[in-house]
Every structure is written in C-alpha cells, then in structure tokens.
Amino acid sequence: MKKLINSVDSVVTDALRGLAAAHPSLRVDIENKVVFRADAPRPGKVGLVSGGGSGHEPLHAGFVGYGMLDAACPGEVFTSPVPDQLIEAAKGVDGGAGVLHIVKNYTGDVLNFEMAAELSGDEGVEVATVLVNDDVAVQDSLFTAGRRGTGATLFVEKIAGALAETGAPLAEVARVAREVNERSRSFGVALTPGTVPAAGKPTFELSDTEIELGIGIHGEPGRTRAPMREAREIARTAMDAIDADLPLSGETLVMVNGMGGTPLIELYIVFAEVEAYLREKGATAVRSLVGNYVTSLDMQGFSVTTCSPTGELTRLWDAPVETPALRWGR
Amino acid sequence: MKKLINSVDSVVTDALRGLAAAHPSLRVDIENKVVFRADAPRPGKVGLVSGGGSGHEPLHAGFVGYGMLDAACPGEVFTSPVPDQLIEAAKGVDGGAGVLHIVKNYTGDVLNFEMAAELSGDEGVEVATVLVNDDVAVQDSLFTAGRRGTGATLFVEKIAGALAETGAPLAEVARVAREVNERSRSFGVALTPGTVPAAGKPTFELSDTEIELGIGIHGEPGRTRAPMREAREIARTAMDAIDADLPLSGETLVMVNGMGGTPLIELYIVFAEVEAYLREKGATAVRSLVGNYVTSLDMQGFSVTTCSPTGELTRLWDAPVETPALRWGR
C-alpha cells in the first residue's frame, strides 16, 4: 500500500489540519472532529449537520459553508462518527431554530445519529432527521438495512441548505430534504477497489477484465460482476437500473461522480453517454455536475445520481453556495 | 487496462461531447477540437488561448470561462494540439485586441504554438506568447528543452485571465503572465504511473515500495526514485526543491494538486505539511487550492506549486472567475 499519509492512525486528524489550513471559511475543531462554518451558529437559521465515515471526500466537510452544511462530522475511514461528535456539532450550529441531521442509510450512522438526536434533544436542541437512501443497486447490503445512501446526499445537502439559508423553519427544511431524497436515485460501478489505510489491502478483488455493477461506496458488493466493456454500455446499465426504479422524464438534475481514482476525462465520456440516454427517454439534463464528489478512497469507477426536481427544488439548487467543493453564484 | 472509454481512438472527442453537454457556458467545436467561452469573441478584450495534450483535465478546457481562458485546444492524450486547432481558436476569440498564447514548455507544444502564432499573424491576429516552465525538478527532460511547464499554468491562466477581463492591452497581459510564471515553482511526486489509453500499459514502472520524486505530468523521469515514506517527508522533499530554487518567504499562493488517482483526503494531509513548511520558512499560504487541477490520467501522486505574488497579482487572483473547474466571487 502506497498512500500519502503519516500513519494509519492519524489519517483523519492530519487531513483535518490540512482542511483548516486551506479554508479560512471553516472552523475546524480537530479535537472533537467537527468541521463548522466559521460563522456558525447563525441566529434563527436551521443548522444542517451531516457526517459519516471518512474516505468519501469532499463529502461531507467539503460541503460546509454558505448555502449548504453548517457542520460535518467525519468518522474514521469508513466508520460512523460517534454521538459525541454529533452532539458537539448540534451545539455549535444551533441558532435557536433547530438542527437537521442528514444521515446516509448505514446501520452504524443511523444508530449514532439517533442517539445524538435524543441527547441533543435532552439538551434543548430540536433535531429532525432525513435519511438518504438513493442507491437502487441493492437492498440490505453489507452495513445497511434497506437501500444505501450515496450520491443524493449532495443533492439533499445543497437543496436543504439553500432553503435553510432563507430562514425556513425546521419542519419545512426537513420536508424538502426528504422530497429531494425521494426524487433521487443512484447507481455505482467499480473498475478497481479502494484500499482502507488501516487495512492495508484492497476492500475486495476484481480481475483485470472485470467490473462490479452496483458497487457501494465502501466497496460493498453490487448486483453482479461483469466483463469490462465500453463506457457507453456501462453507462446504459447504470441508467437502466435507475430508470427501472423511477422512470426518467422531464427536467433532471444529474451528477456523474468519480469514485476517487478515475480521471476526469473518463467522467466526461460517461457523462456524454448519460446525457444521450436521458434524451432518448425524453428527459433533459437541466443541471449537471461532473467530478469527484462522493468518493470511495482511490477506487476507480463512477456513480450516476439523478433527481427529478420540482421547480422549487431547481430554484434552490441554483441558489448561491460557497463551500470548498461546491460554489457558485454569490 | 480498464478505462471508462468507448474506444482508444475516440477518447478526446467523446470527452468533448460530455463537456459540451455538461457546461452550457462553453461552446465546444468538436470537429476542430476547440473549447470556447460561449460569449467569445469579446470585443476589445485580449483573447487567452491555451492548450496541450489531453489527460491533464481539468487543464485546459475546465478553465475556459469568465476571468480565465477564452479558448482551449486539447490535443490527443499527451500529444500537442496541432496548429490548425490553435489558429481556429485565435480566430474565434480575437475581439480586435489580440491573443495571448499560454504554452507549457514541451517541444511539440512550443513548435505548434509558434507556427500557429505566425499563421494567425498572417491573418491579421496579433499574438503574444508566454511560456510556462515552473517545474524545478529537472532540466531537459523527455519532451522538453529547459524546464517543464506544470502547475503554474493554472496560476498564469487565472491571473492573466483576470487582467484581460479588465480590458488591459495585450502587452500588459503578456507581461503579467510572464511575471506569474517567473514567480512560480512546482515539484511533483508519483506513487503510481498513469496509463495512456492508446498504449494500454503504464507509462513507467514503480515497485510497491518506491516513489518517483520530481515526476513530470506525462510520467517523464524525475530526479530520483526513493523508498515510500511518510507524507510529511515527501512534502518536505518537494518543498525543499522549490525553496532551493526560489527561497520561500512572505505571502504565497499555494496549490497542492492531485495527479488524478489520489484521494482528496491524502491531498489535505499533504497540504497540512506544505503549510507547516511554509510557516517554518516565515512564509504564509495566503491563498490555497487543494484538488485535482493539472493531472496525469490516473497517476497517483501530487504536485506542489507556489507563487510569490505582488499585491497586484493577489488582487487578480482574487478577481471573480467562472469556469467549470474554478469559480468564485462573481
């Protein structure tokens, strides 16, 4: 294993030091492992808190800032954040309007966020929760009861974050966050596995001619292994899976997301095929993201996430955002 | 070789289709392989044209837009763009104030940009050229007489682009572009090689315990191979090389750039060490970029680029920019 780390034990704290040094717009509590907007808490504004295992960067800390998250809690690599982190985050972002937990559907995350929500409630912070479970590939995978939460997390964080910025109340922000999740679907493909530093070896094995269709962002098994094939066919397989679950039509938000080790030129090739597929279905990619957003360490591969938005959701998508990894329009 | 492509012959055009579909702010001439700002030419504004081999995305096409490039010409993977592309680009961006060629110092690029500048001149388009040669690792490497051009290309394109946006004349834009290059230095490190699609195998070989210090962005040999070591030591080696060439002090623009296959979490770990090194030298990272900007396909590794700016250069760095890969502040 060759990785740019100082030791397997200090991966997360060392990266947090770098994050703090690179982004003056963030306040990074390295001891408690919480990344805050520098201006948190904002009085009267619902505070958005997300988190999860590290190794998916820029998710979640890269999405902390104006118009998106108020705080992110990174766990160890592929390991849920602990309740203490989440409680610290809620305290630090609550401006009196309550806190929304945005939780990817993995058993450990769900339990720890639940416990934190209860304890934060005991301390007088109202907490609502949205569970993200957009991945159509499999039910009840490793680490998950039900569907996994993947790329749609970004859509939820962006759109709910924009609404919270307007001063909307907690119930309304939670409602919209859930609506984004319900309207979103994802499917991922791996060409190669990633390597968790503490494990020192790839999370699974794939031969030089095989790919994994329906991969999870921790290397959880997908639907099937298949021979390597053209980007066009791989993209169609992903889109067919999404379309079979929630038929694609009309205006669509689309993300072609790299898994961490995939060159951008390949992601654009995939995007061309995804966009052509949408047109065939009579759908239109009205907003697009192409790049590394919800990664899995150094895995090569991609995921596609679609969202069929209402006009309100598209307007919130377009609202200004200013975070390390996503910014436009202010 | 597993890559998300349709065929090795269609990599660049397929990616250009994706780029066009993803970014309505661009006008992509797929036949001539030129990526324009949708609003080019801008009357009275110097047109900035860059280009080079593909495989370094988002460089250059990802930097086309308001406040940065007016056009980019992607060659085949790791292959110079041809003069016809560059002439087409100059025609399409010349708003009467001339065109600045931003050229990375590789023999093929230099020759083709020179030829294009002459021919564009014959057609009445005034062309000035800035050569970028920031890589301190080696002199006269594979493909290059003198130093290679790498990460500083982004600094030159951003800062000269901001100046051109103010309506500054060609000579002034060229002067500032050269000044940025002169004040910038880079050094790269590879953990693994990248694979050119048409070749089908890695551009060089590295054992599981070895790294290449001073790597070029096409996998050209660096200064030396060395055993794998902590991120801290690797970062110090890179910074020592830069500091030995142009002593670091005062306000510094810094980029820790991923080579394409490196997880973002590792780049932040490297950034923490780079920033600590600067502080030791009495320098300050006043502006920072951490991410994949000047890549080498799926190579794992990073480069550091520093620039010791004047106040004018920092102000131009801060000016609004709106491109697919870099945007802030408008």
Q: What is the pLDDT of residues B131-178, one digit of tens each?
A: 999 999 999 887 888 999 999 999 999 999 999 999 999 999 999 999
Query: Does B19 sit within 8 Å of A300, measured CB to CB?
Result: no
Residues 6+ apart with CB under 8 A from B166: none
Å between A76 CA and nearest CA of chain B: 12
Contact between A270 and B234 using a beta-carbon 8 Å cutoff? no
Q: Rounded to whole angstroms, how far apart are CA atoms A41 and A234?
A: 44
B330 pLDDT band (50/70/90 cuts)?
low
* B54 pLDDT more than 90: yes
Multiple choice CATH, A184-320, 3.30.1180.20, 3.60.60.10, 3.30.360.10, 1.10.150.170: 3.30.1180.20
The verdict on whether A23 is a catalytic residue reads no
Q: Hunting for tokens 């050269």 — which residue is that?
A: B178
Could you read off the pLDDT of B202-246 as tens digits, one per residue? 999 999 999 999 999 999 999 999 999 999 999 999 999 999 999
pLDDT band at B329 (very low <50, low <70, confident <90, very high): confident
Tens of pLDDT, residues A89-140? 999 999 999 999 999 999 999 999 999 999 999 999 999 999 999 999 998 8
pLDDT at position A142 is: 79
pLDDT per residue over A28-66, tens digit each?
A: 999 999 999 999 999 999 999 999 999 999 999 999 999
For domain B12-182, give the CATH superfamily.
Dihydroxyacetone kinase; domain 1 (3.40.50.10440)
The DSSP bridge pattern shows strands B34-37 and B71-77 to be antiparallel
Cβ distance B269 to A22 less than 8 Å, yes or no, reads: no
B184-308, what's its fold? Answer: Hypothetical Protein Tm841; Chain: A;domain 3 (3.30.1180)
Whole-number percent of chain A with pLDDT over 90 = 97
Q: Are A54 and A9 in contact (CB under 8 A)?
A: no
Reading the block at residue B57, the tokens are: 């995305």
Burial (Cβ within 10 Å: 0-12, 13-18, ≥19) of residue A128: middle
pLDDT tens for B272-310 read 999 999 999 999 999 999 999 999 999 999 999 999 999
Percent of chain A with pLDDT over 70: 100
* C-beta separation of A255 from A307 below 8 A: no
How far is CA B94 from its chain centroid? 22
Closest Cβ–Cβ partner in A260, A262, A269 for B18: A269
Would you kindly state where each structural domain of chain B is located, as residue ranges?
Answer: 12-182, 184-308
Query: Which residue of B lies nearest to A7 if distances are taken between CA atoms?
Result: B230
Closest chain A C-alpha to B296 CA, distance in angstroms: 8
CB-based contact A265 B211, cutoff 8 Å: no
Residue from A253, A267, A268, A318 whose CB has the most chain B CBs within 10 Å, to mutate? A268
Nearest to B21 among A18, A267, A275 (CB): A275
- Give the C-alpha separation, A317 to A285, whole Å: 13
List, as one string, the DSSP characters of A154-167.
Answer: HHHHHHHHHHHHTT
Percent of chain B with pLDDT over 70: 100
Domains B12-182 and B184-308 fall in the same CATH topology: no
Tell me the chain B residues in contact with residue A201 when contact means C-beta distances shorter than 8 Å.
Answer: none
Q: What is the pLDDT of residues A230-241, one digit of tens each?
A: 999 999 999 999
Q: Locate the chain B residue with the closest alpha carbon to A232.
A: B6
**pLDDT band, very low/low/confident/very high, at A329 (cuts 50, 70, 90):** confident
How far out from the chain centre does Cα A136 lie? 15
Among the partner residues A54, A192, A322, nearest to B265 by beta-carbon distance: A54
Residue B119's pLDDT is what? 98
Q: Residue A144 has what pLDDT?
A: 86
Which homologous superfamily does the CATH classification assign to the domain defined by A11-182? Dihydroxyacetone kinase; domain 1 (3.40.50.10440)
Mean pLDDT of chain B: 97
For A194, nearest residue in chain B (alpha carbons): B263
In terms of Cβ atoms closer than 10 Å to its own Cβ (0-12, 13-18, 19+), residue B181 is buried
> For B27-33, what is the mean pLDDT?
98
Question: What are the backbone dihedrals phi and psi of residue A78, each rounded to the nearest 5 degrees, phi first?
Answer: 55, 30
Please classify residue A96 by burial: count the beta carbons closer than 10 Å to its beta carbon, then call 0-12 exposed, 13-18 middle and 19+ buried: middle
Is residue B56 annotated as a catalytic residue, yes or no?
A: yes
Q: Cis ω on the peptide bond leading into residue A58 (within 30° of 0)? A: yes
Sequence-separated (6 or more) residues with CB below 8 Å from residue B182: none
The Cα–Cα gap between A167 and A44 comes to 7
Query: Which of A79, A269, A279, A293 is best to mutate for the B interface (most B CBs within 10 A)?
Result: A269
Which residue is listed with tokens 């890549």? B295
The pLDDT-based confidence of A330 (bands split at 50, 70, 90) is low
Residues B88, B84: Cα–Cα separation, whole Å:
6
Residues A216-233: tens digit of each pLDDT: 999 999 999 999 999 999
Residues from chain A contacting residue B228 (CB–CB below 8 Å): 2
Rounded Cα distance between B45 and A327, Å, is 26
C-alpha to C-alpha distance for B37 and B48, rounded to whole angstroms: 10
Q: What is the mean pLDDT of residues B125-136?
A: 98
Count of other CB atoms within 10 angstroms of residue B8: 15
